[in-house]
């Protein structure tokens, strides 16, 4: 019995998603809740689990395709043992009438469980056995696998070189995909393609596969050092050591006809969402930006002392931690700053808790995950939350829930050596604080010029909600806490 799984709405109002990679292949046996593919939405990359148990008979879209919600993406032969047939309009859910707790079933709050790990545990985590596959004969010494004539195996369909679609230029087909298939002679091409199809899928987790794509490492030529032959990050980094030291976060470029050197980058996924959100914010909320230069010498000395304390062992005590704590304390004195504008109701919504957003640069674009109810956290808890938030964001694993509901944001431009800027409000928020680089600068202190550690703060705010006096007092309070951390005792 053949069943098709339709792309579900894995976010809030998702209309489309890009298939980053398939985690199964035709002929694989899958179980309920086993990840099928990795999909990038407008906010994050998530794994889609299978609502059925059976055998994969068809992958209806290639990696890199952008698919509308409700479109079938995979066909599974359940052998009559799958979940019941969806009834009614199931386009947005992909699978209906599923037992509560399973993927597609009911979830707390009237929602539908669509993410891996959502709901109670209902299956045992077991790795499927690897199928025996015939070994392809070794290529002859003179085999030519590419247009450059190098003796290297054909690239995988999921490798970075294969992501760009071929284009026409001067009557010739160019691009990475064309290059990968431009082999010498039809016979050599057929043998290379057959060898690629017969290769077993290398065992590696999705983050490791992404790292391999970023570094241009072919996983099929690696021998995993993990349990059961699983390829680890260390294996990939070791293989790339001779060719690349760090991954290139820039998106793949596609050659196009036109002026020499001209390139075009498709705008989709996170970058497309960010562009639309920034345009809407810039031309909806009247922005005002104020600046403040602060002597943070005392803060930096306190940072060194606190980093040595046992209760903060194992967490990163960064300058951003002190900025975040100062902002949270200042919000307590000026709660109107932690608010948003309700256009439909023509009301100002003052939020009861601070969901602190931290702008993070990732290979897929800018995202702003948040720490829910950050004001209730101790300094040690806040340090751990900020570390986890940034690491998860850079790995592309932030859940959609953590990308929504923010109430105020900090953007740390200082990590790039930048002094300050005029940040644009995160949509739905009324204030964003930019934190610049901490530098040794001459500073007048007690009538004498002395070298001090100085930084610059920039606060952008929605002038419909925050007037100049409130914005100035809030920024001054943040600066006072950073200049003299002991001031926190008076807050």
Q: Which two tokens stand for residue 264?
A: 């075009």
C-alpha to C-alpha distance for 92 and 13, rounded to whole angstroms: 10
Angstrom distances, CA of residue 171 to CA of 164, 266, 342: 18, 23, 55
C-alpha to C-alpha distance for 72 and 4, rounded to whole angstroms: 6
| Owner of token pair 């002026």 | 259
Per-residue b/e over 453-467, b at no fewer than 16 CB within 10 Å? bbbbbbbbbbeebbe
Residue 291: beta bridge partners? 458
Residue 463 falls in the annotated catalytic set: yes
For the chain, what is the radius of gyration of the CA atoms?
A: 26
With 0-12 / 13-18 / 19 or more C-beta atoms within 10 angstroms meaning exposed / middle / buried, residue 287 is: middle
Phi, psi of 281, deg, nearest 5: -70, -45
CB atoms within 10 A of CB 144: 17
Per annotation, catalytic residue among 287, 334, 351, 463? 463
Residue 362 host element (H or E): strand 360-362
Q: Which residues are catalytic?
A: 463
């Amino acid at each position: 019995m053949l069943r098709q799984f339709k792309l579900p709405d894995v976010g809030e109002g998702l209309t489309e998603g890009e298939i980053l990679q398939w985690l199964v292949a035709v002929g694989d046996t899958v179980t309920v809740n086993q990840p099928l593919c990795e999909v990038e939405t407008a906010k994050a990359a998530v794994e889609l689990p299978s609502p059925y148990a059976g055998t994969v008979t068809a992958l209806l879209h290639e990696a890199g395709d952008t698919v509308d919600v409700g479109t079938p993406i995979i066909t599974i032969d359940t052998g009559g043992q799958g979940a019941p047939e969806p009834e009614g309009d199931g386009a947005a859910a992909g699978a209906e009438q599923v037992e509560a707790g399973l993927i597609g079933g009911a979830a707390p709050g009237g929602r539908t469980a669509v993410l891996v790990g959502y709901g109670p545990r209902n299956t045992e985590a077991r790795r499927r056995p690897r199928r025996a596959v015939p070994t392809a004969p070794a290529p002859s010494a003179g085999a030519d696998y590419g247009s450059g004539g190098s003796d290297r195996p054909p690239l995988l369909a999921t490798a970075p070189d294969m992501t760009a679609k071929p284009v026409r230029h001067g009557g010739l087909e160019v691009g990475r995909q064309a290059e990968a298939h431009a082999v010498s002679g039809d016979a050599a091409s057929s043998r290379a393609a057959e060898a690629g199809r017969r290769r077993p899928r290398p065992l590696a987790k999705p983050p490791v596969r992404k790292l391999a794509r970023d570094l241009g490492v072919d996983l099929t030529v690696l021998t995993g050092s993990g349990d059961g032959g699983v390829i680890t990050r260390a294996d990939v980094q070791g293989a790339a050591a001779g060719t690349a030291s760090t991954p290139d976060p820039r998106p793949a470029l596609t050659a196009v006809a036109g002026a020499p050197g001209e390139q075009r980058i498709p705008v989709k996924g996170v970058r497309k969402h960010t562009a639309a959100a920034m345009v809407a914010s810039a031309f909806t909320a009247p922005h005002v930006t104020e600046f403040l230069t602060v002597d943070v010498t005392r803060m930096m000395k306190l940072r060194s002392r606190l980093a040595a304390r046992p209760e903060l062992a194992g967490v990163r005590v960064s300058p951003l931690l002190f900025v975040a704590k100062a902002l949270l304390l200042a919000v307590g004195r000026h709660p109107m700053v932690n608010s948003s504008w309700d256009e439909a109701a023509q009301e100002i919504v003052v939020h009861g808790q601070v969901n602190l957003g931290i702008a993070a640069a990732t290979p897929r674009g800018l995202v702003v995950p948040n720490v829910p109810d950050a004001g209730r956290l101790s300094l040690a808890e806040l340090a751990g939350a900020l570390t986890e938030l940034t690491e998860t964001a850079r790995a592309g694993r932030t859940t959609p829930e953590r990308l929504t509901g923010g109430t105020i944001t900090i953007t740390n431009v200082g990590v790039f050596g930048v002094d300050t800027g005029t940040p644009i409000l995160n949509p739905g928020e009324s204030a964003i604080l930019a934190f610049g680089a901490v530098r040794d600068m001459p500073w007048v202190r007690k009538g004498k010029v002395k070298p001090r550690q100085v930084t610059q703060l920039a606060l952008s705010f929605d002038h419909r909600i925050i007037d100049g006096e409130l914005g100035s007092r809030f920024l001054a309070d943040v600066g006072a806490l950073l200049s003299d951390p002991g001031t926190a005792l008076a807050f």
